[in-house]
Structure 1
Amino acid sequence: MRSSNPVLTGRGFARIKESTTQVQDLNTLESRPTSAPMSIDDVVIKTAGLFAVLVAVGTFAWRANSPGLALIGFIGGFILAMVNSFSKKVRPALVIAYAACQGLALGTISALYEAQYNGIVSQAVIGTACAFGGVLLAYRSGKIRVTPKFTRIMMGSLIGYFVFALITMFTGRPTGGLGFLIAVAAVGLATMFIVMDLDQIEKAVAARVPQEESWRMAFGLMVTLVWLYLEVLRLISILRSDD
């Protein structure tokens, strides 16, 4: 049950490429004179809708509890994530399809964890929500800011984690104290990437990008939150395995 999300590397490299002219690029990206500018409300509504799809499909996958659905979800989600990450045109249907695929994968994985550790899914959901809320408050209060140095550190950490995830696909994850520390670091990394998403959304709103770009922002936030949930789920399972 791998929790690393390699799709994030695509978004990461996109950020690196746009780091020096991000606001200008967002201001001109697929600009249409007749399109209303994107707002925070647009992103919130789209994100809520995507998670509604994820939960609905996830509930079905939970009840079905079929490894085949998880495989379909992972493969389909990976392909759709790559398309959505690198496509210049916003494709809402593919973003919604991505949410459905994630529902298949997460519903099955969550059921497997729940069967082994009763109540772990609700704990992971609460933990993810608390992490998101804490980062949101810190970002809005100005205690956390995205600077060029911060971005470079996050990108370097992400690439390192991605390489680590690829290696452990063949060697297995470390256990014991080292495994716990890596799980904590992964949760911290995923949490900090929420800051990157919030900053990107704020700059996009300031640049008055077209309203349809809210789908891209909602997709990016969903990718990060799904990654965070899986890492929190893994961390809690490590803690509870010692009980």
Structure 2
Amino acid sequence: MRSSNPVFSRRGFSRDNGHAGFSTAPQAGGAAVGTQANPYAQGNPYAAQPQAGNPYAQNPYAQQDQQYGAPPQAPVTTGRMTIDDVVLRTGTTLGILVVTAALAWALLPVDDANLSRSYGIGIGAALIGMVLALVQSFKRKASPALIVSYAAFEGVFLGVISSVVDNRIASGAAMQAVLGTMAVFISVLVAYKAGWIRVNRRFVGFVMAAALGFILLMAVNLLFAVFGGGDGLGFRSGPLGIVFGVIGILLGACFLALDFKQVEDGIAYGAPREEAWLAAFGLTLTLVWIYLEFLRLIAILNSSD
């Protein structure tokens, strides 16, 4: 399965020729067994067997050992990702994001005299964060330094934009957006664990198609805004802005369900511990998406009063 977050669309988190084997029983990595004895072996990218194409289970010195007469060694197994690893890494990235957001809020005033400078710093931090996110997304392995740096710069952007909305448009908007994001996260987690949300191929296809359409519409709206002025086609203001704000939040909730499925699969399939950084990165991306949609929706609602 290809997740909504590009960081999950890599060898560690995809199987069945790019689609999730939702009907396939998960199997943690262990000793190598024959494919006839284990019908799920090829579906598990972390099974400790060369036939499954698991780069973490292969012994790179196997041929050298045979050449010099040394007895073959068992595959080297590394630490496996656990839910505690995912929670710890996610807490780290979100903690850094919150700290830098708070510092940006306190140190970058948004009064009339300093608004342009603070806003420019926020936009610059957002661009740097986007570049870091893209670099990490295309890397084959998790880079904690990149992920932590992304969280820091993204926090600066969120701190500035939140301060602008909270101080100049709607007092208390930032806290409302935080509470809304937390409510969505908890609600989706409970619904997912209770089985009310079933992440299957049809669900993935629907979410990805809806997300693609949403992003394309926002891109067209941005182009009209740049060349025509105002808010372009009006997708980000007025009644249409409210509708698209709600749609954006719902898409973020769907992305969370996809992320939960990817984390669950990674743990069940014995993903290496460093993949927990990718899980934390993906969850952080989704939570930032939801927070910004809430903040935008609150600003639109208060502007229309």
Q: Taking structure 2 as the reference length, what is the TM-score of the superposition?
A: 0.72
- Letter of the structure 2 residue corresponding to residue 189 of structure 1: L
SS in 2 for 1:18: coil
2-structure distance, mates of 1:210, 1:10: 18
Offset, 1:217: 0.3
Does structure 2 conserve the Cα–Cα contact (< 8 Å) formed by 1:183 and 1:234? yes
Q: 1:9 to 1:209 in 2, by over 3 A?
A: closer
Does structure 2 conserve the Cα–Cα contact (< 8 Å) formed by 1:56 and 1:103? yes
Offset, 1:30: 5.2
Alignment of 1:79-228 (within 5 A): 79-115=131-167, 116-171=169-224, 172=231, 173-174=234-235, 175-228=237-290
2-structure distance, mates of 1:169, 1:12: 28
Post-superposition Cα deviations, 1:4-39, rounded to whole Å, max 9, x if no partner, equal xxxx67458768973256963466665263421000
Offset, 1:122: 0.5
Offset, 1:72: 2.2
1-structure distance, mates of 2:184, 2:81: 26
2-structure distance, mates of 1:11, 1:164: 23
1:19 matched to 2:44: no
Residue of structure 2 equivalent to 1:5: none
Offset, 1:227: 0.3
1:31 to 40, 43, 56: 56
Aligned length: 236
- Letter of the structure 1 residue corresponding to residue 102 of structure 2: T
Offset, 1:225: 0.2
Does structure 2 conserve the Cα–Cα contact (< 8 Å) formed by 1:30 and 1:89? no
Offset, 1:68: 2.6
Offset, 1:118: 0.6
Cα RMSD for the two superposed structures: 2.2
Q: Taking structure 1 as the reference length, what is the TM-score of the superposition?
A: 0.89
Kindly indicate which of the two structures has a greater share of residues assigned to helix: 1
Does structure 2 conserve the Cα–Cα contact (< 8 Å) formed by 1:117 and 1:240? yes
Does structure 2 conserve the Cα–Cα contact (< 8 Å) formed by 1:39 and 1:211? yes
Offset, 1:91: 0.7
Offset, 1:107: 0.6
Does structure 2 conserve the Cα–Cα contact (< 8 Å) formed by 1:146 and 1:195? yes
Q: 1:26 to 1:19 in 2, by over 3 A?
A: farther
Unaligned runs of 5+ in 1: 1-7
Moved more, 75-84 or 233-242: 233-242
Post-superposition Cα deviations, 1:158-186, rounded to whole Å, max 9, x if no partner, equal 11111112112122343322221111111
Q: 1:26 to 1:196 in 2, by over 3 A?
A: farther
Does structure 2 conserve the Cα–Cα contact (< 8 Å) formed by 1:43 and 1:214? yes
Q: 1:242 to 1:212 in 2, by over 3 A?
A: same
2-structure distance, mates of 1:207, 1:235: 39
- Letter of the structure 2 residue corresponding to residue 64 of structure 1: L
- Letter of the structure 1 residue corresponding to residue 19 of structure 2: S
Post-superposition Cα deviations, 1:171-230, rounded to whole Å, max 9, x if no partner, equal 234332222111111111111110000000000000011001000000000000000000
- Letter of the structure 2 residue corresponding to residue 24 of structure 1: N
2-structure distance, mates of 1:78, 1:199: 25
Does structure 2 conserve the Cα–Cα contact (< 8 Å) formed by 1:197 and 1:221? yes
Residue of structure 2 equivalent to 1:67: 119
2-structure distance, mates of 1:46, 1:157: 29
Percentage identity across paired residues of the two chains = 35
